[in-house]
Structure formats: structure tokens, C-alpha cells
Amino acid sequence: MINEFCKGYIRIHRLPSDFKGSGSLRVHLANHSNHDWKSEGEHPVFLCYHWLDEKWNMVVYDGFRTALIPDGLRAGNSASFSVEIDPPPKPGAYNLVLTLVRDGMFWFDRADDFQMETVKIGVAQDVLRQRPKQGPSNDAPKTAGSGVVRPDPLDARNGDGPVDRSSSGATSGSDLIRAKASAKERKFGFMHIPKTSGSAMRAFLAKAMNLATYFKEADLSQHSFLKDVPDPVLPIGENYLAHVSFGTLLKGCPDGQYLTIFREASSRILSHWVFWRTYLADEYGEERVKRVRGRFIDFLSYPEIACQVDNISLRMLVWPHPRVPNDDFIDRKDDEELLQLALDRLKRFSFLDVIENPQFEANLQDWLGTELNYSRVNVSQSMPKHLRVPLYREFTPETLEALKARSRLDRVLWTAVAAARMPGIDLAELSRNTLIRNVARYAAIMA
């Protein structure tokens, strides 16, 4: 679909000598496809751009979007448009990449037959002072008379999801708590984070809401190390109860009621290791099986399975993202940017909670308006004798440091949701006691 829709090119007419990274550029756009490109209706098309530094590291991903006004660009035609550019956050030498995006679908520059435009720009300090810094918006994007669209990272039409660097500050509890579900009006999109009681949640939702069918496959946000496994075909407008990223929910279940559950981050990783030691199939590869069935430190330190180990809750919220490698750990220098994006995206969810909350089941039943029993399933209960090890030997200083690194971002997300759901609770103590209880439980399973 992407290669059929995205055929053509974008070119700058003439780069003004006084252009220093801020203002309007006149571009020529050619549509060589058999599809009209319009900035209206379902999955509209917009002009957009990225800023990269001299070493081609991403600095601003998905800048302001400009509508193709007044009538878009029909198939087989070409025309000129103005695109509004906002400067990067700091002065310096940059590469400006001009492209297009089809909201909720794809970026044109990923297609084989679309030629984007890249120019080198020197951004001066005085240019940064010319335009006021834009604050974050909780409103849906609106097209102004100029055709400029402010991309909202929480809106379901935002393609692969922008990085909004202008917002700052903590997410408040009121931002994360929503009213009742509107079951008859909107589909459900459940982002099932592994080992967070998600299987029980999926069964409960299916029964409580009488969901006869729903999408339940996993996307590549957690299985990208399986090189020969394709990304699943996504049905549009269906209920999603699956191991999929938030980006996948936005594409397959637009305007859905999004739900997810968090678990104390270190306990979730430990549970995941215990689970994979028992259930990892041999077809996942000899080296991966060896790592997972070896010591806990091996599981935590193997970059190729980072998508299964390294801050998986955050990964699922922001994937795909250029700062989140599938086969390596997230660089600490990107923590602030990724956390801001993840916390912003949490505001788009209709139901959030943590499984450590004693009122979790009551909260869920109240939100859905049903009193069905919530039964835990897929709970780790036993392990083959040849895979058992004394768990106390696994918690070396090196392992504890690796566990802290692999859970550092997810811990922030868990804390944000737990604070919203359980105001006044000592969350540091809850986290510590939860991990102690889980270590004791898994030690018994592996004894």
C-alpha cells in the first residue's frame, strides 16, 4: 500500500539566502501515484519535516504539519505549496528533511518511489528568539487558515507519532483518570504489556463487553528479533486486545478506548524471565534459548532481545521510534525525551491502573459498568526440574545494577500511574515490598 500511494517527490523551489531555519519555504510537489493526496477525511496527507544534526542524529522528529491547501494534489499532477518550518531547539548546523506523512498510516520517505528533499541549514540564536516557544496542547490538531497543523502526540491520526520536545513537567493524576467507558460507541484497544495480568484482562474484557471477535496477534515491537516473522496485517476499526504497541493501536483501532495495566518494573522483568525459561520455544534460536535459560544476568545483558527485556512498557508506548533500537538497549541520553513522549501518550488512554492497587479490579468493573469476576490466568506456577536454579544466587551486585537499568524508565511510568490511582501511598515502600514478595514466590517455584 505504501509504495502504491507514495510515488513522487518534493523539491524546494529556491532556498532563500536569508532562511535560517524558521519561516515558510516554497516547495514543488509531484504526485506520480494513482491516488489523490488530500489533507481532509480519513488519514489526511500533510507536508512535514525532521531536523537532524550534522552527524544525522534525529533532533526533531515530526515538526509542524502543513495542510495541502486549498484542494490537495490529485493523482498525476504537480503543484507548489508553502510549508511552515519551526527551528530546532538550539542553534547550530542541521540537516532539514522535507517529506509528507499520511496520518495514522505511514511516512512517504519510507516508500521506494518517493524522493524527499534534504538541505543543510545553519540555525542562528537570533532565529530561535524570533518565534515564541510553543506549549503542549491537549486539543486535537486543527487546520488554521494558513494550513499549519500543530501535531498532537496523543491524537490517533499522528502516524508513527511525533516527539514533542516543547512540553515539560510531570503528568498529574487527574490527567490519567478517565470517566466511564462508552462501550457501545467506541472500540477497545488494550495494550497488553507482558506479565501484567494482561491475559486475565483480555478474557475479562471479551466477556464483559461481549466481544465476539478481536485482534489478538503480537506486532514486532516485542518480536523484532525474529527476522523471518512479518508484521501482522492490521484490520482497521476492530477491537484490539493484544501484545501490540500504542502506535499499532492508533493505526488499527483509531478513536478507540485505549487501556493498559502496569506492574512494578523489576518484578515484571523477573516474572518475564521465569516465564521465558519455561515456555521459550526452540525455534526462537539456540543462542536466544541459551540466554533466556541461563543466568538472570545473561537475560538482562543480551542486546538482541532488548525488545523483550529493556523497559518494555515505555517501548510499547513509543514504538516505532528512532531512539528505540530493536536490538540494543535504550541510551540514557535519550531518557528525558522518551519519557516525556511516553507520559504524554498515557493521557490518551481511557483506563490505566497498576496491578498492585488493591482497588484495581473494582476500578475496572466500575469503569466498564459490570460486576463480572476478574480471574487471574497465565500465572507462573511451576518449572521443569532441569531449569530450576537457586534464585538467591542470581541476585549479584552486577545483576541488580542491570535490573535497575532495564527497568529505570518503566519505573517512572509505573510511579506516575500508581500515584494517580493511589494518592498518599508510599510508592517506594510499595515497590520494595512488591519485589520482595515476588522474589520469594519465584524462589519457591525454582527451588
Give the other-Cβ count within 10 Å of 441's Cβ. 18
Segment 338-378, tens digit of pLDDT: 998 899 889 889 899 999 999 998 898 888 887 766 665 44
d(CA 218, CA 243): 5
Write down the pLDDT at residue 180. Answer: 56
- Contact at 8 Å (CB) between 98 and 10? yes
Q: Which residue has the higher pLDDT, 429 or 291?
A: 429
Segment 136-164, tens digit of pLDDT: 222 323 333 334 443 333 333 333 333 33
Full set of structural domains in the chain with CATH: 2-149 (2.60.40.10), 173-445 (3.40.50)
Write down the pLDDT at residue 260. Answer: 95
Write down the pLDDT at residue 213. Answer: 82
Write down the pLDDT at residue 367. Answer: 87
Is the full-model pTM beyond 0.85?
no
Q: What are the φ and ψ backbone dihedral angles of 403, each rounded to 5 degrees?
A: -65, -40
Q: Per DSSP, what are the bridge partners of residue 354?
A: 262
Q: What percent of the chain has pLDDT over 70?
A: 79
Q: Which residues contact 309 (CB under 8 A, 6 or more apart)?
A: 269, 272, 299, 300, 302, 406
Mean of pLDDT over the chain:
79
DSSP codes joined into one string, 334-395: GHHHHHHHHHHHHTT-SEEEETT-TTHHHHHHHHHT--------S------GGG---GGGG-
Q: What percent of the chain has pLDDT over 90?
A: 33
Segment 228-237, tens digit of pLDDT: 556 677 888 8
d(CA 411, CA 156): 26
| Element spanning 276, H or E | helix 265-279
DSSP codes joined into one string, 218-231: --TTTTTT-TTPPP
- Distance spanning both ends of the chain, measured CA to CA: 52
